[in-house]
C-alpha cells in the first residue's frame, strides 16, 4: 500500500504549480492530460483523441446553434490563387507575413503561386459572385469547419499554431441593416456559448480600428480573462459592409430593378477555445472541464474491485448513466484507486463515482466533484438525478469562480500615471476612457505594455477625459495584456 501512495503522490506533483510558472503549468497540462503531442513540423501540433473529443463536442454544440439561425455548411478549397487573394488588398496586407505558399505541383513550377488559406473570404466572395444574381438569392448564410495556416513565429499549443482548426462563417445580405443584425446575432451566439456551456464569463464589445480585421467596417469580440489575468479573444464577428462585394463584383438585381452590391459578414472561433478552457478553469491537479464539452462526464471507479459484486454493481451504474444520456467511463483496470483518482483529475472529468463493498451493502455510492472535491453519498437508485444536479452545479460554480477572478482583476484608471501603476502592479483588465486617436492607443502599448481589448457595448463613462492625453474622451475601453 505504501508503494501505491508514493506513486499516487508523484502523479499529482508532475504538474508545475500555476503560481510558480503559469506557462510551464499550461504546457504540462496539455501534454500530461493527453491533449496534444508535438510533431516534426515546427509550430504544428498533433491533437490527440482526448483533445480532439473536446473539439468535437464544441463543434457539435456550436453547429447546432448555428443551424438554428439558418446557417448552412459548405466546404471551400484549401488553396487560393495569388491573383484572387490580391483582389482585396487590406486583408492581403494584414496576412502577408503569415502566408504559406505552394510554388510547385510535383516537379513542375506552378504558373501562379497558391496560398494555403489563412482565411477564406476571397474564396467565398468568388463563389458568391457566381451564384448571387437577384435579391431572391439573398441572404446566403454559409459556414465551414476546416483548418487554416498562418506562419506564426512564436507558437503555443491551442493558443497559436501554424495550422489550427476553426469554423468560419461568411454571409451575404441584401441590406446594411441585415448584415449588422447578423454580425451582432453571431457574436451573441458565441457569448452565450462561452457563458452557458463553458462557464466562461465574457465581455462583449467592439474592437478599435487598430485591432479590427483588415477590411472590416467593424469587428465585434467576446473577451475572456484567464486565471493569470491575461485576456483571451474568444471569438470575433465582423461586419464587412460592401467593400468585398465591390472588389469581387457581387451584385444583385433588387426589387426596384436596380443593381446593388451585397453586404457581407464573417465570424469565427478556433481551437484556441480549448486553451481558454484550460487557463480559465484548470488547477494544479490538471484540467477542470465544463460538463458540456468533457469527453467523459462521469467516471465510475470500483474500489476493492476484487470483492464479490463490486465490478457488477459499478458496471450496472455506468450502464444506467449511459442510458440516461451521459458520457460515462468505467475503469476496472488493475491500477490502484489512488492512481485512477489522480488520472481522471488530471483529465478534468467533472464527476467521479466510487463504489465499494461497504457502499454496495448500504445501497449507495460516493460522488466526487472535480472542481472542489466535494463528496456526496447518494442512494444508487437516485444516481441519475444526483449526476444531473452535480454537473449543473459544477458548471455554475465554474462560471461564478471565473467571474470572481475577473471582478477581482478589473481596475479603473482616470489618468496615465494611474494606468501605468496599475499595469505594473497587477494583472487583469484596466477600464479607462479613450479619445479615439491611434497615437494614444500606441502610447499605452509603449508605456504600459497594454493593448485595447474591446470597447464594451452600452458601457457607462467613468470620466470625460482620455486617460492618455487628457482631451475629451469618446469611448470606455478595456485595456490589458493578452494571449
CATH of domain 298-395: 3.40.50.800
240: its cell numbers: 464587412
Question: Do 22-281 and 298-395 show the same overall fold?
Answer: no
Is residue 232 over pLDDT 60? yes
Tell me the pLDDT band of 214, cut-offs 50, 70 and 90. confident
Give the mean model confidence (pLDDT) for residues 199-219. Answer: 96
Whether residue 71 has pLDDT greater than 90: yes
- What mean pLDDT is reported for the chain? 95
Nearest of 96, 97, 93, 100 to residue 115 by alpha carbon: 100
- Per-residue pLDDT, averaged over 195-217, amounts to 96
Q: pLDDT: is 218 or 94 the higher one? A: 218
The total number of residues written for the chain in this structure:
483
Alpha carbons 70 and 64: distance in angstroms, whole number? 10
Helix (H) or strand (E) holding 90: helix 89-95
Helical segments of 309-437, H only: 310-323, 337-346, 357-362, 383-408, 416-425
pLDDT of residue 242: 96
In the chain, what are the domain boundaries? 22-281, 298-395, 410-480
Class of domain 22-281: alpha beta
Q: Is the pLDDT of residue 12 over 50?
A: no
Task: State pLDDT tens for residues 30-39.
Answer: 999 999 999 9
- The reply to whether omega before 139 is within 30° of 0 (cis) is yes
pLDDT at 6: 45
Where is 460: in which H helix or E strand? none
Which one, of 375, 370, 300, lies nearest residue 337 by Cα? 300
φ, ψ of residue 7 in degrees (nearest 5): -65, -45
Which of 12, 1, 6, 53 lies closest to 341, judged by CA? 12
What are residue 57's phi and psi, to 5 degrees?
-70, -40
Rounded mean pLDDT of 134-141? 98
Q: State the Cα–Cα distance between residues 168 and 176, nearest whole angstrom.
A: 20
d(CA 191, CA 185) in angstroms, rounded, equals 10
As a whole number of angstroms, the distance between CA 163 and CA 36 comes to 13
With cell 469587428, the residue in question is 219
State the pLDDT at residue 8. Answer: 46
Q: Is the pLDDT of residue 348 over 70?
A: yes
| DSSP-derived secondary structure letter, 378 | E
Separation CA 92–CA 118 (nearest Å): 10
Instruction: Count each helix (H run) and each strand (E run) in the chain, helices first.
Output: 15, 23
pLDDT at 97 over 90: no
pLDDT category at 25 given cuts 50, 70, 90 is very high
CATH of the domain spanning 410-480, picked from 3.30.110.30, 3.90.320.10, 3.40.309.10, 3.40.50.300: 3.30.110.30
Q: Which set of grid coordinates corresponds to residue 267?
A: 465570424
Q: What is the mean pLDDT of residues 465-476?
A: 97
Q: Are 365 and 353 in contact (CB under 8 A)?
A: yes
Relative orientation angle of helices 383-408 and 310-323, to the nearest 10 degrees: 70
Burial class (CB in 10 A: 0-12, 13-18, 19+), 72: exposed
What is the pLDDT, as a whole number, of residue 93? 72
Residue 360 has pLDDT above 80, yes or no: yes
What pLDDT does 88 receive?
74
pLDDT for residue 5 is more than 50: no
Q: What percent of the chain has pLDDT over 70?
A: 96
Packing angle of the helix pair 272-281, 22-32 (nearest 10 deg): 120
pLDDT higher for 458 or 303? 303
State mean pLDDT over 411-421. 98
CB neighbours of residue 212 within 10 Å: 18
Give 357's Cβ-side CA count (13 Å radius): 5
* pLDDT bucket at 305, cuts 50 / 70 / 90: confident
* Residue 301 bridge partners (DSSP): 354
Res 92: pLDDT: 65
Q: Is the pLDDT of residue 275 over 60?
A: yes
Predicted confidence band at 87 (pLDDT cuts at 50, 70, 90)? confident
The helix/strand/coil state of 146 is strand
SS3 103: strand
Grid coordinates of 321: 448513466
pLDDT at position 43 over 60:
yes
Is-contact 435 474, C-beta < 8 A?
A: yes
User: How sure is the predictor about 46, in pLDDT bands with cuts at 50, 70 and 90?
Assistant: very high
Judge whether 373 and 390 are in contact, CB under 8 Å: no
Does pLDDT of 401 surpass 80?
A: yes
Distance, CA of 127 to CA of 122 (rounded, Å):
9
Listed range (13-17, 82-86, 254-258) with the worst mean pLDDT? 13-17
Residues 289-308, mean pLDDT to the nearest whole number: 95
The answer to whether residue 4 scores a pLDDT higher than 60 is no
Does this model's pTM top 0.75? yes
The yes-or-no verdict on residue 187 having pLDDT over 70 is: yes
Between CA 336 and CA 357 the distance in angstroms is 16
pLDDT category, 91, cuts 50, 70, 90? low
Q: Is residue 332's pLDDT more than 70?
A: yes
- Structural Rg of the chain based on CA atoms: 25
The residues, ordered by sequence, that sit 6+ positions from 324 with a Cβ below 8 Å of its Cβ are 384, 387, 388
pLDDT of 1 over the 70 cut: no
- Confidence category of residue 49, pLDDT binned at 50, 70, 90: very high
Q: Is 177 exposed, middle or buried (0-12, 13-18, 19+ CB in 10 A)?
A: exposed
The pLDDT-based confidence of 3 (bands split at 50, 70, 90) is very low
Give, in order, the Cα–Cα distances in Å from 152 to each of 28, 77, 160, 172. 22, 22, 7, 30
Amino acid at each position: 500500500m505504501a508503494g501505491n501512495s508514493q506513486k499516487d503522490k508523484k502523479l499529482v506533483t508532475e504538474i508545475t504549480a500555476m503560481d510558480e510558472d503559469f506557462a510551464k503549468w499550461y504546457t504540462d497540462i496539455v501534454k500530461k492530460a493527453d491533449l496534444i503531442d508535438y510533431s516534426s513540423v515546427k509550430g504544428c501540433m498533433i491533437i490527440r483523441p482526448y483533445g480532439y473529443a473536446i473539439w468535437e463536442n464544441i463543434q457539435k454544440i456550436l453547429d447546432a446553434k448555428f443551424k438554428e439561425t439558418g446557417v448552412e455548411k459548405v466546404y471551400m478549397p484549401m488553396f487560393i490563387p495569388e491573383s484572387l487573394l490580391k483582389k482585396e488588398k487590406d486583408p492581403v496586407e494584414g496576412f502577408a507575413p503569415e502566408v504559406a505558399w505552394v510554388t510547385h505541383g510535383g516537379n513542375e513550377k506552378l504558373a501562379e503561386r497558391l496560398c494555403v488559406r489563412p482565411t477564406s473570404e476571397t474564396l467565398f466572395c468568388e463563389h458568391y459572385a457566381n451564384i448571387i444574381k437577384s435579391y431572391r438569392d439573398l441572404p446566403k448564410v454559409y459556414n465551414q469547419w476546416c483548418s487554416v495556416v498562418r506562419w506564426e513565429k512564436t507558437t503555443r499549443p491551442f493558443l497559436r499554431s501554424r495550422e489550427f482548426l476553426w469554423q468560419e462563417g461568411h454571409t451575404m445580405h441584401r441590406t446594411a441593416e441585415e448584415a449588422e443584425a447578423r454580425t451582432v446575432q453571431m457574436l451573441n451566439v458565441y457569448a452565450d456559448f462561452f457563458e452557458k456551456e463553458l462557464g466562461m464569463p465574457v465581455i462583449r464589445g467592439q474592437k478599435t480600428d487598430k485591432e479590427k480585421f483588415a477590411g472590416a467596417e467593424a469587428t465585434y469580440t467576446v473577451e475572456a480573462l484567464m486565471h493569470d489575468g491575461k485576456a483571451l479573444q474568444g471569438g470575433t464577428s465582423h461586419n464587412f459592409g460592401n467593400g468585398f462585394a465591390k472588389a469581387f463584383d457581387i451584385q444583385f438585381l433588387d426589387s426596384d430593378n436596380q443593381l446593388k452590391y451585397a453586404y457581407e459578414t464573417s465570424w469565427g472561433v478556433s481551437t484556441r477555445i480549448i486553451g481558454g478552457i484550460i487557463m480559465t478553469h484548470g488547477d494544479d491537479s490538471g484540467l477542470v472541464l465544463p460538463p458540456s464539452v468533457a469527453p467523459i462526464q462521469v467516471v465510475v471507479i470500483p474500489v476493492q474491485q476484487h470483492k464479490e459484486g463490486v465490478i457488477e454493481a459499478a458496471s450496472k451504474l455506468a450502464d444506467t448513466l449511459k442510458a440516461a444520456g451521459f458520457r460515462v467511463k468505467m475503469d476496472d483496470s488493475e491500477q490502484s484507486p489512488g492512481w485512477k483518482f489522480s488520472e481522471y483529475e488530471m483529465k478534468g472529468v467533472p464527476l467521479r463515482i466510487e463504489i465499494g463493498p461497504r457502499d454496495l451493502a448500504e445501497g449507495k455510492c460516493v460522488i466526487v466533484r472535480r472542481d472542489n472535491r466535494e463528496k456526496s453519498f447518494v442512494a444508487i437508485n437516485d444516481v441519475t438525478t444526483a449526476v444531473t444536479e452535480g454537473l449543473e452545479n459544477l458548471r455554475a460554480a465554474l462560471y461564478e469562480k471565473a467571474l470572481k477572478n475577473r471582478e477581482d482583476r478589473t481596475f479603473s484608471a482616470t489618468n496615465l500615471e494611474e494606468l501605468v501603476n496599475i499595469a505594473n502592479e497587477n494583472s487583469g483588465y484596466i477600464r479607462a476612457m479613450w479619445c479615439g486617436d491611434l497615437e494614444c492607443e500606441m502610447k499605452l502599448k509603449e508605456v504600459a505594455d497594454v493593448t485595447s481589448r474591446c470597447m464594451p457595448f452600452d458601457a457607462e463613462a467613468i470620466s470625460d477625459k482620455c486617460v492618455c492625453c487628457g482631451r475629451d474622451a469618446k469611448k470606455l475601453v478595456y485595456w490589458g495584456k493578452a494571449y
